Amino acid sequence: VAGYVGGVVPDYQMAAWLMAGYLRGFTAAEAVALTAALVDSGDRLDLSALAGPTVDKHSTGGVADSTTLIVAPLAAELGLQVLKLSGRGLGHTGGTLDKLESIPGMRTSLSERELLDQVGRIGLAVGAQTADLVPGDRLLYALRDVTGTVGNVALIASSVMSKKLAGGAASIVLDVKIGSGAFAKDLAAGRELSELCVALGTAAGRSTAALLTDMSQPLGDHVGNASEIREAVEILRDERGGRLRELSLELVGELAAQAGVVADAVDGRTRAEAALRSGAGLERFARFVEAQGGDPRVIDDLDLLPCAPVRHRVVTDGPGWLAAVDGEAVGMVAARLGAGRRRKDDTVDVAVGIELPVKLGDRVEAGAPLAIISARDEPAARRAEAELRAALAWSPDPVEGPALVVGRVTAG
């Protein structure tokens, strides 16, 4: 890794090495060594100046997953220090940074000093990961992407954990998604990835845990950038329930437990829910927005967020139970509306998106509201409607919705 980052080892040798590792796998010791080499390839954040317990969380990636927007202010309410670095990445929607930047004035390019100062003051900050942090992972990931070597548990775990370790937090909680669109297609694969991540974190002296969570459908009701901010604010206002709220509370509970500020994750979750119900989490979110230059009035007036010109309502064809959702396909519909990025230099349209509040196991009546598509024009909206309908399957008989948190992995 050092040779590759230093330009001594050429692309083709690293590519051959990646394929060898991809096919043969890595021992736990090899994964630990790889992770350490990735961390050593660049700078690390030094959080030692922060008074409270530092925490970080990472999701392996899902559709309509804006947990960070809810988890960070609630965790700060519980006395945790959240310095979250995020990439922009490629995906169905933009990353956390793109979502935040849909708030007028919001700034995410903060210096390390600004980030640390802000966390010290208000308990949370969200900034862009710089190129100096884990450059080895950035280079390796780009090479994996073009050599068919992405889907290996140790390569994924070392990539995820190297960034968390370089980020400096003492406690780390991972949200490992299970589902056909995720790397972990089933619980066994999710458990393997989680156990390796927890082992890598533990080997580096961090208190680490993982929640295994269902990704058989979009997590929240909104797929988009501004619209995911809208949903997060509605949850922090305690106006909206659902799986996104639920998972956010579970993650805060687990973070608090790993940081040792509560007796256990159940206790942590109870305190997180209290912070949410009291409105303290919403206030903390407003302070966070203000601290990063955004308009804090957004928590009271969601119409301050950008809104696409066309709002296209989709209704159901007939009565039935929602039996299957192709979450990847729903994400792709949003991406084609303009919410995502295919290439690094693509611009994200933060105003477009899909609101799909129906979840697996829900019954709908014929002609009932199914979704709202926010688009630039009518043809785009109609195309999105057709694609969205194709991504859903209905049953005439009752269907049971899946559990949300399906497993938990902790050290030892």
Catalytic machinery residues: 58, 137, 144, 159, 163
Residue 23 vs 403, nearer CB to a copy of itself: 23
Q: Is 307 in the site for a copy of itself (CB under 8 A)?
A: no
Among 12, 109, 278, 342, binds a copy of itself (CB under 8 A): 12
Q: What single string gives the DSSP state of each residue in 231-277?
A: HHHHHHTT---SHHHHHHHHHHHHHHHHHTSSSSHHHHHHHHHHHHH
Q: Is 403 exposed, middle or buried (0-12, 13-18, 19+ CB in 10 A)?
A: exposed
Per DSSP bridges, beta strands 171-178 and 54-59 are parallel
Crossing angle of the two packed helices 112-122 and 280-291, in degrees rounded to 10: 150
Q: Does position 16 bind a copy of itself by CB under 8 A? A: yes
47/213 Cα distance (integer angstroms): 29
d(CA 378, CA 389): 16
Which residues contact residue 31 at a Cβ distance below 8 angstroms, ignoring those fewer than 6 apart? Answer: 154, 157, 158, 196, 199, 200
List the one residue from 28, 146, 188, 266 that touches a copy of itself (CB under 8 A): 146
Binding string, residues 93-132; x marks residues near a copy of itself by CB under 8 A: ----------------------------------------
180 lies in the site for a copy of itself, by CB under 8 A: no
Contact between 367 and a copy of itself (CB under 8 A)?
A: no
Give the interface segment with a copy of itself, choosing from 109-117, 143-151, 239-247, 335-343 (CB under 8 A).
143-151
> Which region, judged by CB under 8 A, interacts with a copy of itself, from 4-12, 42-50, 214-222, 311-319?
4-12
The strands making up 207-214's β-sheet, listed across from edge to edge, are 124-128, 81-86, 54-59, 171-178, 207-214, 405-410
Give the contacts of 128 (CB within 8 A, at least 6 positions apart).
85, 86, 87, 88, 97, 108, 109, 110
| Distance (Å, whole) CA 248 – CA 98 | 20
Task: Verify binding: residue 13, a copy of itself, rule CB under 8 A.
Answer: yes
Q: Could you say whether residue 11 binds a copy of itself (CB under 8 A)?
A: yes
Instruction: Give the shortest CB-8-to-a copy of itself separation in angstroms.
Output: 13
Residue 130 or 147: the one with the smaller Cβ distance to a copy of itself is 147
Q: Is 362 in the site for a copy of itself (CB under 8 A)?
A: no
**Burial (CB count within 10 angstroms: exposed 0-12, middle 13-18, buried 19+), residue 49:** exposed
Binding of residue 19 to a copy of itself (CB under 8 A): yes
Q: Which one, 143 or 404, has the nearer CB to a copy of itself?
A: 143
User: Could you give phi then psi for residue 178, rounded to 5 degrees?
Assistant: -115, 125
Task: For a copy of itself, give the closer residue by CB, 13 or 395.
Answer: 13
Task: Count interface residues toward a copy of itself (CB under 8 A).
Answer: 18
| From candidates 143, 307, 323, 332, binder to a copy of itself by CB under 8 A | 143
- Enumerate residues 20-59 that contact a copy of itself by CB under 8 A: 20, 23-24
Is 149 a binder of a copy of itself (CB under 8 A)?
Answer: yes
Quick check: 332 binds a copy of itself (CB under 8 A)? Answer: no
**In angstroms, what is the minimal distance from the CB of 16 to a copy of itself?**
4
Closest to a copy of itself by CB, 20 vs 386, is 20
- Where b means 16+ CB within 10 Å and e means fewer, 356-392 reads bebbbeeebeeeeebbbbbbeeeebbeebbebbeebb
Q: Which residues form the interface with a copy of itself (CB under 8 A)? A: 10-20, 23-24, 143, 146-149
